[in-house]
Amino acid sequence: MCKGSAMVHTPSKSDALYVRMRSDILSLDLLPGSALRLPALSCRYGIGVTPIRECLNRLSIDKLVFIEHNKGFRVANLSLDDLLDIERSRSTIEGELFLQAIRIGDDAWEAAIIGAYHHLLAASPVSVLGTQDDLDRWNRRHAAFHDALIAGRQSPWMQRFQRQLADQLGRYQKFIQIGLRDLHNSHPDAAPKAAEAYATAVAMSPHDDLYQVALSRNVSAAQTVFQAHVNLSIQAFESLMALVPANTSMAQTLSVPAVEIQI
């Protein structure tokens, strides 16, 4: 490299493929539980079978793809048990990061929280029966608010685990939101109560509590308030599934036992 020149990192084709395929799984363009056939994926992404296989192995580490013995690859399933496990794990990891952030966060951290909170407030309340644009806006601003809350943390491994959990949770949120919109058309009698149950998980009130705890630097209340937020979401998801008719795609998908995760 010439003296004085800066090294510019250009993503490799394999990295670009990984980003694209990962995005397709998280956005549900590749449906939960669907088979991932190498020739079809090669055509879809315009790249050879070997890098496709390498990418799928990489995604299996993220628990977004699983490998069936003698059958190949499949997009990771969704299940209620798995969703609740993600929420509980999130409580432990993100709750601790939130506590760390309150202890070490500076003025810039606080200002970012204020901005993210007001953006979320402007997008609330959100209804699954509203437009997809409204839901997408809320999803982005909700993620940005939670990212702002823990932006002052200094735990690289916990940050990595938190990001994985947040991505997995985002996939569930999108799946449930789409499912409730479909329910409005297929089961109009059941849809209002199910939507009301889900609304508890996206309500502004628990986010108000997190906001107040952060700005007041209330270390003693941080984990308790975060745990209450997660518990509210768990209760909302459990109530929701009790209201969704068993013959719907959402109920059938989420009732399938989760694939065992090997550590």
Q: Which residue ranges make up each domain of the chain?
A: 13-75, 80-254
| CATH 3.40.710.10 corresponds to the domain 80-254 | no
Q: What is the pLDDT of residues 66-82, one digit of tens each?
A: 998 878 999 999 999 99
What confidence score (pLDDT) does residue 225 get? 97
Instruction: Tell me the two tokens of residue 45.
Output: 């992404």
Q: pTM for the complete prediction?
A: 0.89
Q: Which fold has domain 13-75?
A: Arc Repressor Mutant, subunit A (1.10.10)
What confidence score (pLDDT) does residue 182 get? 92
What confidence score (pLDDT) does residue 10 get? 63
Q: What is the pLDDT of residues 139-170, one digit of tens each?
A: 999 999 999 999 976 789 999 999 999 999 99
Give 263's pLDDT tier (boundaries 50, 70, 90).
Answer: very low
User: Considering only CA atoms, which of 82, 59, 89, 70 is closest in space to residue 261?
Assistant: 82
Cα 167–172–178 angle (5° rounding)?
A: 125
The mean predicted confidence, pLDDT, of the chain is: 91
Tell me the mean pLDDT in the region 52-57. Answer: 96
Beta strand pairing call for 35-36 and 72-75: antiparallel
What confidence score (pLDDT) does residue 260 get? 46
What confidence score (pLDDT) does residue 126 get? 86
What confidence score (pLDDT) does residue 259 get? 52
Percent pLDDT > 90 in the chain is 81
Q: For residue 8, is pLDDT > 80?
A: no
SS3 30: coil
What confidence score (pLDDT) does residue 108 get? 95
Distance, in Å, from the CA atom of 130 to the CA atom of 127, rounded to the nearest integer, reads 5
Distance, in Å, from the CA atom of 98 to the CA atom of 112, rounded to the nearest integer, reads 14
List helix spans (H) across the chain: 13-26, 38-45, 49-61, 80-104, 107-123, 132-149, 156-186, 191-199, 205-215, 219-243, 249-254
> Picking from 10-14, 28-32, 175-179, 191-195, which range would have the lowest pLDDT averaged per residue?
10-14
Instruction: Tell me the two tokens of residue 213.
Output: 């705890």
Tell me the mean pLDDT in the region 93-112. Answer: 95
Give 4's pLDDT tier (boundaries 50, 70, 90).
Answer: low
Distance, in Å, from the CA atom of 90 to the CA atom of 86, rounded to the nearest integer, reads 6
Q: What is the pLDDT of residues 197-249, one digit of tens each?
A: 999 989 999 999 999 999 999 999 999 999 999 999 999 999 999 999 999 99
